[in-house]
Amino acid sequence: MWQSLWSQIMDLTLVVVMLRFMTPILLSALGGLISEIAGVINIGLEGLMLISAFTSIAVGSATGSWVLGTLAGVAASVMICYGMGFFSIKLKVDIIIAGFAVNIFGSGFTIFMMSRIYGVSGNYSPSGLNNIPAINIPFIQHIPVLGKLLSGHSLMVWIALISVIFCMLLIYRTPYGVHLRSVGEAPEAAKSLGIPVNRIQYSALAWSGVFAGLAGAYLSMGMTSMFVKDMTAGTGFLALAVVLLGNRNPAGIFFGAIIFGLASAVTTLVQTTPGSPIPSQFIQMIPYVVTIIALVFFAVRKKRRRIVLAQG
């Protein structure tokens, strides 16, 4: 078993699988990050991803275009986010409850639509679907190590990586990003300077919809070629954990997504490796336990710092 695992690390299968698992976590966590920065943390990522996954494969298979499919998925997810904003900002529903509702909605609504449109209840796998393409880089794809490392990944993997840079620019290099952060941290201060707090929060939720939408599209049209009910299976919650551990910073999110992607990749490899001594359940548990430990660590450190301050 160890040997088999080791060989997969050596032949870079682990890295490739890790990138596949990391992509949806990273994308939706970036969405969660922007919402958190603006003080409207979106815990509905799971539901948003499901809605986008379904919408994009439905539109994608109907039109034969993965571009249209992805755009439709993103649009659907953004629309739900505006609804979430309406309820949480306008009707003053707790943002956590609104996110919780989106999660229930995402699960139920996709099953409902699947059954209404395709008359199936468990999964929908259209034939002849044009998936989000993989990018094969000429020349490099034939170089032994580099080829496997860089070439042949889904376009969405690259989009996810570029999104990290995009978010960094958005958050730190644009006035809008500064407004986002000020609205999340000191809404009164922002208001006193004429920054439209509500509008900024709506837009932050919309961003989380965009990224969760991309993640969802990848689930049904990149990672797989089908929609399975509740196919996110906790990815949104993992993303949420990444958001909380990411230190409000896209680089931190990237790092967290790699760790969780790696854990998921190891889980899969161990599960598919016969005779594993470590039960897969415990490997699956790693991200959640890490999250709890990290949360405790941060909280304790904060408490200590306050005590030190008080004494100094």
Partner 1 sequence: MKTGNATILEFAGIAVAVILALLCGFAVILVTSDEPLNALASLLLGPVSNLFNIGTVLNKAVPLIFTGLALAVVFQSGVFSMGAEGQLYAGGFLGALAGVYIHGLTPWLHLPLVLICAMVGGALFAAIAGLLKTYANANEIVTTLMLNFVAILTTSYFVNNMFKDPNSGGFARMPYVNPEILLGKLFPGFPAHAGIVLALLAVVVVYLMLYKTNVGYELRLVGKSSRFAHYGGIATNRVVLTSIMISGAFAGLAGIVEILGVHGTYKDNFSAGLGFDGIIIALLARNHPIGVLIAALFYAYIQVGAQTMQVGSDMPREVAVIMQVMLVLLVSSQAIFVYLKQKYGQKAVK
Partner 2 sequence: MSILLQMKDIHKVYPNGTAANRGVDLTIHEGEIHALVGENGAGKSTLMKIMFGLEAPTSGTIEYKGAPVTFHGPKDAIRHGMGMVHQHFMLAPSLTVSENIVLGEEPRKGPLSLFRDRNKESQEIEKLIQTYGLKVDPQAKVETIPVGQKQRVEILKVLYKGARLLILDEPTAVLTPQETDELFDSIKALIKQGYTIIFITHKLREVMEISNRVTVLKAGKTIATLLTKDTNPEEISRLMVGREILFRVDKQPSVPQDIVLSIKELCASDDKGAPALCGITLDIRAGEVVGIAGVEGNGQTELVETITGLRKAISGEIRYFNEELIGKSIAQIRAMKIGHVPEDRQTTGSSLTSTIAENLILDHYRNPEFKWGPFQSKKKIKQFTKIMMDVYDVRAQNEDVMAGSLSGGNLQKVVIARELSKNPKLLIASQPTRGVDIGAIEFIHREIIKKRDGGAAVLLVSAELSEVMALSDRIAVVYEGEIVAVLENSSELTEEEIGYYMLGLGIKKQKEEVAAQ
Residues that bind partner 2 (CB under 8 A): 169, 173-176, 178-179, 181-182, 185-186, 188-190, 192-195, 248, 306, 309-312
Contact between 190 and partner 1 per CB under 8 A: no
- The CB-of-185 to partner 2 minimum distance in angstroms stands at 4
Q: Of residues 143, 186, 300, 307, which one binds partner 1 by CB under 8 A?
A: 300
Q: Which is nearer to partner 2, 120 or 169 (CB)?
A: 169
HEC-encoded secondary structure of the chain: CHHHHHHHHHCCHHHHHHHHHHHHHHHHHHHHHHHHHCCCCCCCHHHHHHHHHHHHHHHHHHHCCHHHHHHHHHHHHHHHHHHHHHHHHHCCCCHHHHHHHHHHHHHHHHHHHHHHHHCCCCEECCCCCCCCCEECCCCHHHCHHHHHHHCCEEHHHHHHHHHHHHHHHHHHHCHHHHHHHHHHHCHHHHHHCCCCHHHHHHHHHHHHHHHHHHHHHHHHHHHCCCEECCCCCCHHHHHHHHHHHCCCCHHHHHHHHHHHHHHHHHHHHHHHCCCCCCCHHHHHHHHHHHHHHHHHHHHHHHHHHHHHHHHC
- The CB-of-243 to partner 1 minimum distance in angstroms stands at 10
Q: Which does 100 bind (CB under 5 to 8 A by kind): partner 2, partner 1, none?
A: partner 1
Q: Of residues 108, 147, 152, 177, which one binds partner 1 by CB under 8 A?
A: 108
Q: Mask 115-154, x = binds partner 1 (CB under 8 A)?
A: xx----x---------------------------------
Contact between 277 and partner 1 per CB under 8 A: no
Contact between 273 and partner 1 per CB under 8 A: no
Residues that bind partner 1 (CB under 8 A): 43, 87, 90-94, 96-98, 100-102, 104-105, 107-109, 111-112, 115-116, 121, 234, 237, 240-241, 244, 279, 281-282, 284-285, 288-289, 291-292, 295-296, 299-300, 302-303
